Amino acid sequence: MILLIGSQKGGPGKTTVAVNLAVEYARQGKDVCLVDADQQRSAARWHADREEQGHQPPIVCLEKLGNIHGTLVELAGRYEVVIVDVAGKDSREMRTAMTAADKMIVVVRPSQFDLDTLSHMADVIEQAMDINPGLEVRGLIAQAPSNPSVTERTDAREYLADYPQITALETVLYERKAYRDVVGEGLGVVEWSNPKAKAEIQELAAEVQA
């Protein structure tokens, strides 16, 4: 399975989702390859920390820029799960990955600035599906405020419903310090002490795979 994590905005949590899913799938015993296709190299840096600390299970990480279609197809023949992290813009890496991917997760914060990017993303998805009709695109609301009186999460879900190309995931990732704390350790939240963050990532991993 090639799983692409994309969006046209920096900061919603793409790399956070990519590395945390990589850890969860690896812990399930799957052969995981993480592909960092963002020149900012956040996933690669996280991976270097993980290697340095010697955390188990080890995860393979590759860096590749430009046209990554061929690389992803080749990796999919060797690994059970290939997770691709791209930059937060309409990039060559994102577009070429979309022509190879089985699934794509579009990560958005429940803010108008993020939601405004969905219309362009929906167009890009349609173009990719002309070439890769099997591409399955799911929308993930991330960094949702955990305060129950804030309705941004449900508003964002309604907004996503306007785009038939993007099916909203049931799982929502809330804003939790644990997601920031694990980064420098080269860990995932499923290896950390916050049970709520752990449960969210496990729910996401199951929902994406289903």
Ligand X SMILES: Nc1ncnc2c1ncn2[C@@H]1O[C@H](COP(=O)(O)OP(=O)(O)O)[C@@H](O)[C@H]1O
State the binding string over 16-55 for Mg ion (x if CB under 5 A, else -).
--------------------------x-------------
Contact 62, 36 (CB under 8 A): yes
Contact 80, 29 (CB under 8 A): no
Contacts of residue 174, defined as CB under 8 A and 6 or more positions apart, other chains included, come to: 143, 144, 145, 146, 196, 200
* Count of residues that interact with Mg ion, criterion CB under 5 A: 3
Q: Which is nearer to Mg ion, 15 or 71 (CB)?
A: 15
Is 198 a binding residue for ligand X by CB under 6 A? The answer is no
Distance CA 38, CA 88 (A): 8
Q: Does 176 bind ligand X (CB under 6 A)?
A: yes
Nearer to Mg ion by Cβ, of 9 and 198: the residue is: 9
C-beta closer to ligand X: residue 131 or 150: 150
* CA–CA separation, 115 and 159 (whole Å): 7
The DSSP annotation for 34-55 comes to EEEE-TT-HHHHHHHHHHHHT-
Interface with ligand X (CB under 6 A), residue total 17
Smallest distance from ligand X to CB 74, Å: 24
Q: Work out which of 2, 3, 15, 104 binds ligand X, going by CB under 6 A.
A: 15
Nearest approach in angstroms of CB 186 to ligand X is 13
Query: Which window, 57-65, 116-124, 148-156, 169-177, contacts ligand X (CB under 6 A)?
Result: 169-177
Q: What is the DSSP letter of 62?
A: E
Q: Is residue 179 within the footprint of ligand X (CB under 6 A)? A: yes
Buried b (16+ CB within 10 A) or exposed e, 18-53: bbbbbbbbbbbebebbbbbbbeeebbbbbbeebeee
Task: Name the helix (H) or strand (E) containing 144.
Answer: strand 136-144
List interacting residues with ligand X (CB under 6 A). Answer: 10-16, 42, 88, 142-143, 173, 175-176, 179-180, 183
List interacting residues with Mg ion (CB under 5 A). Answer: 14-15, 42
